[in-house]
Amino acid sequence: MSLDEAAGSENEALRLDASDPLPPPRAEFLVPPAPGGPHAEAAYFAGNSLGLQPRAVAGVLREELDDWARLAVEGHTRARRPWVDYHELLRDPAARLVGALPREVVAMNSLTVNLHLMMATFYRPAGERVRIVIEDSAFPSDSYAVASQAVHHGLDPERAVVRLTPRPGEDVLRTEDVLTFLEREGGTVALLMLGGVNYLTGQLMDMAAITKAGRAAGAVVGWDLAHAAGNVPLRLHDWDVDFAAWCTYKYLNSGPGAVAGCFVHERHVGDPSPPRLAGWWGTDPAVRFRMDPAIAPPASADAWQLSNPPILALAPVLTALEIFDRIGMDALRARSERLTGYLASRLGAARGAELITPRDPAARGAQLSLRVADAGALVRALAARHGVIADAREPDVVRLAPAPLYCTFHDCHRAAEALADLAPGPS
């Protein structure tokens, strides 16, 4: 690309930023400095791994620390945001984020802990219906979790766990292939638990169609929404999902290892018959402090809680959810499609970089995945020479996620120029 062409493409990116119908609240986030290159700030495309810190988090944490110092144990009832029911502050915004009723969601634990708690209730193998279905490219933690659940029930995970694979020569699962499998073998499936957005390819699954087919086959349907929550609009209640869990440190920007979220459909929350692992915080708050030996679970997702919530860890989640509540997922999704569409259109200059994410914007989230040779070396060079922060999944996938809350078209321009420089296309 000539200097004039490069300047023209940069001007186009700046024009798109100036005219976008949803200017991002980038100033509300702490963008790290560029580790290399001519720019002061990084072009940050790793929000699919760890989101940026909202500036407001420090103030909210300071308030909680001040209340702890000033009130000590009395902070449970007298803090600015009383700790005893702090997790309830997150209930409504979390429900709006994932398309749920407030009593269907709870903020607790971490993602895989929540998946295990859900499977302890909903994975009930019996007779021929014993199989757990995941995608072959599921995040390793999900693979480990479902295999261990099979072992916990005395089953051989090699037989009990089914890993759905794309067609030969393809990188993503076709919805029709998932539906065909469920129609053909659904009678053997106890639990269908896929990722809503695949961590490796960025594919957005058709959660509504797959959930409908899974439930019609008699299976329980759960979703790992680690890469979907805060990335794409969700309608968990309307889709009739049985359960779901998600982390909050990726697109939700709640900090490393932040408290996760969990969804249980309302048809289950008032049913005392399914087994669940229990703890003190899973009893009805109206009777919790009677210290009775028998649990009295509330008719809400709170019944799956085990322990009192970690206030200093919940405060950043509350802060982050307020940002999403203010802007709305539908508006963010529309901006995300504009950003990924622009970036995808600019990636053709990088020779040897094959886009494995679906090209249809409706079939992907905010992540574009490229297959390249020596992905780790390329990611290191992007940062050191251009100040572009992406991540690699070895051996050959580079992931770029223009998160719509803080990434810009100019960031996308920088990424495309950097890739063209490091893996130049034909002259």
- DSSP β-bridge partners for residue 33: 41
- Establish whether 4 is an annotated binding residue: no
Phi, psi (degrees; rounded to nearest 5) at 52 = -75, 160
- Establish whether 248 is an annotated binding residue: no
- Establish whether 307 is an annotated binding residue: no
What is the C-alpha to C-alpha distance for residues 147 and 135, in angstroms, rounded to an integer? Answer: 13
What is the C-alpha to C-alpha distance for residues 79 and 64, in angstroms, rounded to an integer? Answer: 8
Cα 310 to chain centroid, rounded: 21
What is the C-alpha to C-alpha distance for residues 14 and 20, in angstroms, rounded to an integer? Answer: 10
- Establish whether 123 is an annotated binding residue: no
- Establish whether 413 is an annotated binding residue: no
130-162 burial code (b ≥16 CB/10 A, e <16): bbbbbbebbbeebbebbbebbeeeebeeeebbb
- Establish whether 112 is an annotated binding residue: yes
- Establish whether 140 is an annotated binding residue: yes
What is the C-alpha to C-alpha distance for residues 89 and 87, in angstroms, rounded to an integer? Answer: 5
- Establish whether 20 is an annotated binding residue: no
Determine contact, residues 53/30, Cβ cutoff 8 Å: yes
SS3 424: strand
What is the C-alpha to C-alpha distance for residues 25 and 22, in angstroms, rounded to an integer? Answer: 9
- Establish whether 139 is an annotated binding residue: yes
- Establish whether 280 is an annotated binding residue: yes
Determine contact, residues 133/191, Cβ cutoff 8 Å: yes
- Establish whether 308 is an annotated binding residue: yes
Cα dihedral across residues 195, 201, 206, 210: positive or negative:
negative
Q: Reduce the secondary structure of 104-166 to three states and give it as a string.
A: HEEECCCHHHHHHHHHHHHCCCECCECEEEEECCCCHHHHHHHHHHHHHCCCCHHHHEEEECC
The residue assigned the tokens 């992007």 is 382
| Annotated binding residues for pyridoxal 5'-phosphate | 111-112, 139-142, 224, 227, 249, 280, 308
Cite the annotated binding site by residue number: 111-112, 139-142, 224, 227, 249, 280, 308
